[in-house]
């Protein structure tokens, strides 16, 4: 409703002069930006007594751990992502076509879920160690086994599920490289391998940097894995400060420090993306070289291992546990988890879509610097960890509640309690802030494909902007809008830290339940909710797979 | 001394298709050769076989003294010491002009590299753009860098794949002349692919005309124009057309065309088609032929007249621009055939 009235109120003015369009856009952007502003603003608030202590003791550890984590995951995703992209684009080997999409499957696996699963598999009582003991006749303490719940373990887990970001972007970059450029390298005296390092790799550098930056943003945003593994990364520290010490302001100040890291990554990613456009595309792709014999088998086996470790093995383990505990877990409580998760995800995806339409269409109606900046600001949530957004939402909502409460007490001598914080509203707001960029991207790219002459002809035929939106854009955008709904739906379903902090007291979701059960070391019981998340998470991966397959040359 | 390039009985396949069929071709040191032909004639595949990006199916390629393609021999492109200028220039977008040119000079010391690059930059007139990135250059400048990059390692043979087709028509001619001067000055042996006969004639010492994967004729531009060896060569190169005629016992035209004063040399008692180029017909007040003008096309430096022979066949005359048959006394025409190019008319099947 609000959207409709906003759109009609200015229908009589020429699009380029609708100054009135600015205010709804600006207001929306301001509201969306508020949590981050609050976090930044918290640096100006008084620092608590424990701050100095924290700075001396744990903060250096948070910084160091997060840096190690980023270095490890950066290296891991780089090697796996770039290697997989190069092998699947430059060579032909058995299973290449299937692997080129199967390598995306780990995207469906949230890092915290793969962490629980591997812990269960590699534990002392898990199948791997039991098997080793049975085989060799070892007893407890007879042998060394690497501890998965460690910094190294977290790096492995995150790399296994985050490399697809690097793989996807780098793959496109390699595919767009012109055959003649690579041939130029050859004719100037470099072997194919030297050409890869001297030409193909540096040319793909912007895509690689962008991909690794995205993977590192996810790494910094991860809470479930580091919390479960007891790794003192920033998010784990923030949660401890808030939950353990009850110091919301201090938590916000830690969040602000984390934002500095994020800012560096965002800058890096943006700069790289803008550099990509200088790399011209060519119609002729280099013909893939056929790898024969053991080389081809090696490529196939290596990539299959990555895919198996990142998806197949943990998914099968989850399935086994789920089947095992089916009776004990599948009850009305589980169904209410499913219901809560679906309802929250649906509401959030619809909210995101409406706001995205308002921003995207508003920017289209009155394109200008201000509007572009506004949309940019509103879409920065993708980089900000859910934990940070949660704290940024909690502070103003709590403040507002206290004010209202105080007001009511003064005037009516009656306490209202907390109205906003701890409600669905707070949680939904956080989701919109975090995932708006996802739907905005779909809406904007969809709108960009509709030529402005269509708007103009609709307008000359007597339709106002709202009618144009309804009769022209929305029908044409159907695919993009469904994609936007689906992507946000799945992201919300997987989201852990913001949900954990902001959920209403009596509301539980699949992700939170999986976290709780895993934290209680009931890993097998956590499998069913986790499996549900993974299965639903496959939906957007299928969309990506379709994109990849359509880019493949058709054979036979 | 051996020739820089010898191609002997070479065949190459493009997928299922035999794109090049037993081709023989030689280039002398310092010569500029040109592969000319309509699209799909196999000229690009032939060039890519020489560069090593396509494997030969039969026959051999010898560059300098080295067999690079032959029976069970396939030297990879990077070891062939051929320079290559690509149609889209293929400059490395992540390297500036200087680094692009230096790319093939890895075996040299840093200061030697700098000297070579500097020389190439000044040779191609790109010294002031040494630090520029490829996307900052105009098409003509990119072309110069591509040439400099290919020449820097002093290849035994330079290959150019439609090097001017990405450029504006106005720039093409000028660059083609510059490239020829530069290659001649440095005694570079080069083989270029083009579909533009004017470009080929302007730049090459030796033009190889191809069709359907085979060579029609290899000759100097003058020979190719005036003495085409095949009917295809005669019609593909230059303007003009064939007139059909029958000859008597003495090799003279019969019937309505007997008024044409043809030089001796035509076969007797034959049915043949004779090539008449626009420059074979002259507007000449002292000429012996009176022919009606069917069409007149003013082209600036010259005027093309379409003239009807008595039996209705047309010939074309390129006359100086000042000749004007539309006013004044009727122009007379004369035939000046210095090269008799004729082919038998195959009986209708």
pLDDT at res. A111: 92
pLDDT of res. A291: 86
Confidence class of residue B207 from pLDDT cuts 50, 70 and 90?
very high
* pLDDT higher than 90, residue A157: yes
DSSP A18-46: -GGGHHHHHHHHHHHHHHHHHHHHGGGSP
Give the gap in angstroms from C-alpha B119 to the nearest C-alpha of chain A: 18
Model confidence over A163-222: pLDDT tens digits? Answer: 999 998 899 888 888 888 888 898 898 888 898 899 899 988 888 998 898 899 999 999
Q: Considering CB atoms only, which of B82, B91, B94 is closest to A202?
A: B94
* C-alpha distance from B137 to closest chain A C-alpha (Å): 12
Nearest chain B Cα to A181, which residue?
A: B90
**What is the average pLDDT across A359-379?**
81
Per the structure, the count of domains in chain A is 1
The whole domain housing A281 covers: 47-131+141-323
- Contact: B93, A279; criterion CB under 8 Å: yes
> Taking every pair of C-alpha atoms in chain A, what is the biggest distance, in angstroms?
87
Q: Do B78 and A190 touch (CB under 8 A)?
A: yes
CA distance A287 to A305: 26
Contact B84 A280 (CB under 8 A): no
pLDDT at A14: 37
B240 CA: distance to closest CA in chain A (Å): 37
* Residue B296: per-residue pLDDT: 85
Pairwise CB contact (< 8 Å): B92 & A181: yes
Residue B330: band (very low, low, confident or very high) from pLDDT cuts 50, 70, 90: low
Of the candidate ranges A7-21, A174-188, A309-323, the one whose mean pLDDT is the lowest: A7-21
> Would you say residue B327 has pLDDT above 60?
no
Q: CB-CB: which of B88, B106, B159 is closest to A282?
A: B88
Please tell me which residue, B271 or A19, carries the higher pLDDT value. Answer: B271
Query: Is residue B114's pLDDT more than 60?
Result: yes
For residues A308 and A392, the answer to whether their CB atoms sit within 8 Å is no
Q: Do A278 and B135 touch (CB under 8 A)?
A: yes
Which residues of chain B are within 8 Å of residue A190 when distances are taken between CB atoms?
78
Binning pLDDT at 50, 70 and 90, where does residue A537 land? confident
Alpha-carbon gap, residue B270 to A491, rounded angstroms? 86
User: Would you call B86 and A184 a contact, using CB atoms and an 8 Å cutoff?
Assistant: yes
pLDDT of residue A245: 82
Choose among A191, A487, A267, A241: nearest CA to A356. A487
pLDDT of residue A512: 92
What is the full DSSP assignment across B149-177? HHHTT--SEEEEESTTTTS-HHHHHHHHH
| pLDDT tops 50 at residue B255 | yes
A374 pLDDT exceeds 70?
yes
Question: Per the domain annotation, does A113 fall within a domain?
Answer: yes
Residue A9, pLDDT > 60, answer no
pLDDT digits (tens, 9 = 90+) for B41-76: 999 999 999 998 888 999 999 998 899 998 888 998
Q: Which of B47, B49, B55, B78 to mutate to test the interface with A (most CBs of A within 10 A)?
A: B78
pLDDT in tens, A481-495: 888 898 899 889 989
Q: How far is CA A448 from the centre of its chain?
A: 24
> Which residues have C-beta within 8 Å of that of residue B69, sequence separation ≥ 6?
B10, B49, B50, B52, B55, B56, B59, B60, B61, B75
d(CA A179, CA A90): 11
Q: For residue A435, which of A504, A356, A371 has the smallest C-alpha distance?
A: A356
Beta bridge partners of B244: B273
* Residue B329: pLDDT band with limits 50, 70, 90: low
**Residue bearing the bigger pLDDT, A316 or A327:** A316
Backbone Cα Rg of chain B: 25
Is the pLDDT at A1 greater than 60, yes or no? no
Highest mean pLDDT among A72-76, B10-14, B344-348: A72-76
Q: What is the pLDDT, as a whole number, of residue B132?
A: 93
**3-state class (DSSP) for residue B325:** coil
Q: Which band of pLDDT confidence, cut at 50, 70 and 90, is reported for residue A415?
A: low
Q: Is residue A214 part of a domain?
A: yes
Please report the pLDDT score of residue A418 as a whole number. 65
Environment class of B145 (CB within 10 Å of its CB; exposed 0-12, middle 13-18, buried 19+): buried
- Chain A interface, best mutation among B77, B106, B137, by max A CB count within 10 A: B77
pLDDT at residue number A248: 85
How many residue pairs from chains A and B have C-beta atoms closer than 8 A? 73
Q: Do B78 and A188 touch (CB under 8 A)?
A: yes
DSSP 3-state assignment of B335? strand
- pLDDT for the residue numbered B206: 95
pLDDT of res. A441: 86
Q: In this structure, are residues B290 and B278 in contact, taking their beta carbons and an 8 Å threshold?
A: no
In a domain, A60, yes or no: yes
**Is A198 part of a structural domain of the chain?**
yes
Lowest mean per-residue pLDDT among A362-371, A383-392, B224-233, B333-342: A362-371
pLDDT given for residue A6 in this prediction? 34
CA distance B326 to A525: 102
Give me the pLDDT at residue A114, please: 94
> Would an 8 Å CB–CB cutoff place A332 in contact with chain B?
no
Residue A178: beta bridge partners? A285
Residue with tokens 């409600």: A423
Domain assignment present for A389? no
Give bridge partners of residue B60 from the DSSP assignment: B8
Q: What is the pLDDT of residue A167?
A: 93
* DSSP code of residue B131: T
Structure tokens at B112: 């030697």
CA distance to partner chain A, nearest, from residue B85 (Å): 8
CB-based contact A187 B82, cutoff 8 Å: yes
Asked if the C-beta of A184 comes within 8 angstroms of chain B's C-beta atoms, the answer is: yes
Lowest average pLDDT, out of A143-147, A302-306, A486-490, B68-72, goes to A143-147
Does the pLDDT at position B106 exceed 60?
yes
CB-nearest partner of B88 from A178, A187, A199:
A178
Q: How confident is the model at residue A283 (pLDDT cuts 50, 70, 90)?
A: low
Distances (CA, A) of B78 to A202, B91, B98, B143: 19, 17, 21, 21
Answer yes or no: are the C-beta atoms of A507 and A340 closer than 8 Å.
yes
pLDDT band for position A556 (cuts 50, 70, 90): very low
Q: What percent of chain A has pLDDT over 90?
A: 31
What pLDDT, on the 0 to 100 scale, is given for residue A112?
Answer: 92
**CA distance linking residue B104 with residue A498, whole number of Å:** 54
- Complex ipTM over 0.85: no
Say yes or no for a CB contact (<8 Å) between B92 and A199.
yes
Q: Do B94 and A205 touch (CB under 8 A)?
A: yes
Any B CB within 8 A of A556 CB: no
* Inter-chain residue contact B77 with A183, CB threshold 8 Å: yes
What are the Cα distances from residue B340, in Å, to A46, A344, B221? 103, 90, 17
Ranking A98-112, A155-169, A471-485, B97-111 by mean pLDDT, the lowest is: A471-485
**CATH number where A253 lies:** 1.10.3720.10
Mean pLDDT throughout B201-219? 93
pLDDT band at A10 (very low <50, low <70, confident <90, very high): very low
pLDDT of residue A99: 93
Least trusted range by pLDDT, from A64-78, A202-216, A361-375, B56-70: A361-375
Taking the CA of residue A181 and the nearest CA in chain B, the distance in Å comes to: 5
Q: What is the mean predicted confidence (pLDDT) over A525-534?
A: 90
Q: Coil, strand or helix: which one is B315?
A: strand
Q: Is residue A64 part of a domain?
A: yes
Q: Does the distance separating the beta carbons of B106 and A187 come in below 8 Å?
A: no
In this structure, is residue A8 part of a structural domain?
no
* Rounded Cα–Cα distance for residues A138 and A134 (Å): 7
Please give the residue that has the higher pLDDT: either A84 or A524: A84
Looking at residue B348, its pLDDT comes to 62
pLDDT of residue A16: 44
**Would residue A110 count as lying in a domain?**
yes
DSSP 3-state assignment of B260? Answer: coil
Select from A177, A181, A189 the residue whose CB has the most chain B CBs within 10 Å, as the one to mutate to test that interface.
A189
Reported as a single tens digit per residue, the pLDDT across A242-270 is 888 888 888 888 899 899 988 888 888 88
**B78 contacts in chain A (CB < 8 Å):** 186-191, 194
Question: Taking a C-beta distance cutoff of 8 angstroms, is the pair A515, A469 a contact?
Answer: no
Q: What is the pLDDT of residue A399?
A: 84
The pLDDT, as a whole number, for residue A282 is: 56
Instruction: Indicate which of A182, A185, A188, A556 best probes the interface with B, i.e. most B CBs within 10 Å of its own CB.
Output: A188
**pLDDT score of B325 more than 70:** no
């Amino acid at each position: 409703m609000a959207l409709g009235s906003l759109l009609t109120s200015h229908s009589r003015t020429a699009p380029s002069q609708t100054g009135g369009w600015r205010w709804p856009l600006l207001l929306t952007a301001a509201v969306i930006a508020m949590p981050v502003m609050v976090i930044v603003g918290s640096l100006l608030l008084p620092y608590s007594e424990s701050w100095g202590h924290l700075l001396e003791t744990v903060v250096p550890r948070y910084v160091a751990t997060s840096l190690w984590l980023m270095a490890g995951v950066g290296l891991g995703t780089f090697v796996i992502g770039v290697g997989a992209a190069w092998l699947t684009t430059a060579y032909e080997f058995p299973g290449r076509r299937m692997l080129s999409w199967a390598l995306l499957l780990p995207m469906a696996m949230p890092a915290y879920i793969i962490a629980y699963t591997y812990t269960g598999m590699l534990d002392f009582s898990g199948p791997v160690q039991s098997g080793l003991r049975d085989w060799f006749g070892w007893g407890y303490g007879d042998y060394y086994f690497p501890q998965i719940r460690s910094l190294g373990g977290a790096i492995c887990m995150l790399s296994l599920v985050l490399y697809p970001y690097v793989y996807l972007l780098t793959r496109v970059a390699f595919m767009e490289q012109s055959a003649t450029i690579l041939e130029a390298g050859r004719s100037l005296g470099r072997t194919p391998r030297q050409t890869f390092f001297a030409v193909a790799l540096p040319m793909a550098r912007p895509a690689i940097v962008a991909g690794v930056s995205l993977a590192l943003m996810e790494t910094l945003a991860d809470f479930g894995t580091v919390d479960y593994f007891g790794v003192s990364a920033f998010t784990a520290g923030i949660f401890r400060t808030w939950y353990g010490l009850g110091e919301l302001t201090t938590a916000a100040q830690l969040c602000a420090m984390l934002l500095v890291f994020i800012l560096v990554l965002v800058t890096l990613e943006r700069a790289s993306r803008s550099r990509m456009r200088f790399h011209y595309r060519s119609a002729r792709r280099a013909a893939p070289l056929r790898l024969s014999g053991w080389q081809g088998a090696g490529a196939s086996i290596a990539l299959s291992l990555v895919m198996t470790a990142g998806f197949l093995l943990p998914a099968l383990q989850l399935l086994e546990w789920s089947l095992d505990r089916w009776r004990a877990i599948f009850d009305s409580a589980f169904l209410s988890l499913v219901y809560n998760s679906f309802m929250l995800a649906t509401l959030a995806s619809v909210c995101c879509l409406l706001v995205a339409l308002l921003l995207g269409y508003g920017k289209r109606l009155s394109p200008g610097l201000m509007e572009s900046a506004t949309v940019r600001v509103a879409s920065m949530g993708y980089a900000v960890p859910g934990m940070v957004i949660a704290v940024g939402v909690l502070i103003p909502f709590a403040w507002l509640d206290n004010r209202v409460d105080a007001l009511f007490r003064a005037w009516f001598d009656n306490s209202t309690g907390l109205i906003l914080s701890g409600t669905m509203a707070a949680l939904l707001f956080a989701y919109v802030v975090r995932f708006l960029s996802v739907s905005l991207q779909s809406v904007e790219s969809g709108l960009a494909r509709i030529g402005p002459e269509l708007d103009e002809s609709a307008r000359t035929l007597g339709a106002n902007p709202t009618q144009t939106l309804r009769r022209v854009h929305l029908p044409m955008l159907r695919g993009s809008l469904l994609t936007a709904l689906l992507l946000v739906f799945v992201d919300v379903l997987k989201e852990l830290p913001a949900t954990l902090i902001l959920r209403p007291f009596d509301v539980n979701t699949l992700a939170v339940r999986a976290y709780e059960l895993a934290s209680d070391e009931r890993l097998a019981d956590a499998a069913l909710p986790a499996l549900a998340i993974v299965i639903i998470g496959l939906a957007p991966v299928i969309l990506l797979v379709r994109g990849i397959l359509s880019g493949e040359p058709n054979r036979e | 001394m051996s020739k820089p390039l010898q191609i002997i009985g070479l065949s190459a396949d493009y997928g299922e298709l035999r794109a090049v069929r037993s081709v023989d071709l030689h280039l002398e040191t310092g010569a500029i050769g040109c592969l000319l032909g309509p699209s799909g004639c196999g000229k690009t595949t032939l060039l890519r076989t020489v560069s090593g990006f396509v494997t030969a199916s039969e026959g051999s390629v010898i560059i300098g003294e080295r067999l690079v393609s032959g029976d069970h021999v396939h030297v990879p492109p990077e070891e062939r010491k051929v320079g290559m200028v690509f149609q889209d220039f293929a400059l490395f977008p992540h390297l500036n002009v200087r680094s692009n040119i230096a790319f093939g000079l890895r075996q040299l010391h840093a200061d030697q590299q700098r000297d070579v690059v500097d020389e190439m930059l000044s040779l191609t007139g790109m010294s002031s753009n040494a630090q520029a990135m490829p996307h900052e250059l105009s098409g003509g400048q990119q072309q110069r860098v591509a040439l400099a990059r290919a020449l820097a390692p002093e290849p035994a043979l330079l290959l150019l794949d439609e090097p001017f087709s990405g450029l504006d028509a106005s720039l093409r001619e000028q660059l083609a002349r510059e490239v020829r001067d530069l290659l001649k000055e440095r005694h570079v042996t080069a083989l270029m692919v083009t579909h533009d006969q004017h470009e080929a004639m302007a730049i090459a010492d030796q033009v190889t005309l191809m069709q359907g994967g085979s060579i029609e004729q290899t000759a100097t531009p003058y020979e190719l124009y005036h003495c085409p060896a095949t009917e295809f060569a005669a019609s593909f190169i230059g303007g003009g057309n064939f007139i059909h005629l029958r000859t008597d016992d003495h090799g003279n035209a019969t019937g309505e065309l007997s008024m044409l004063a043809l030089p001796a040399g035509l076969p007797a008692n034959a049915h043949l088609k004779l090539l008449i180029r626009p420059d074979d017909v002259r507007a000449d007040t002292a000429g012996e032929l009176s022919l009606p003008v069917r069409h007149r096309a003013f082209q600036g430096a010259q005027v093309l007249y379409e003239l009807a022979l008595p039996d209705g066949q047309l010939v074309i005359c390129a006359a100086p621009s000042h000749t004007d048959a539309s006013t004044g006394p009727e122009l007379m025409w004369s035939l000046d055939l210095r090269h008799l190019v004729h082919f038998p008319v195959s009986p209708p099947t």
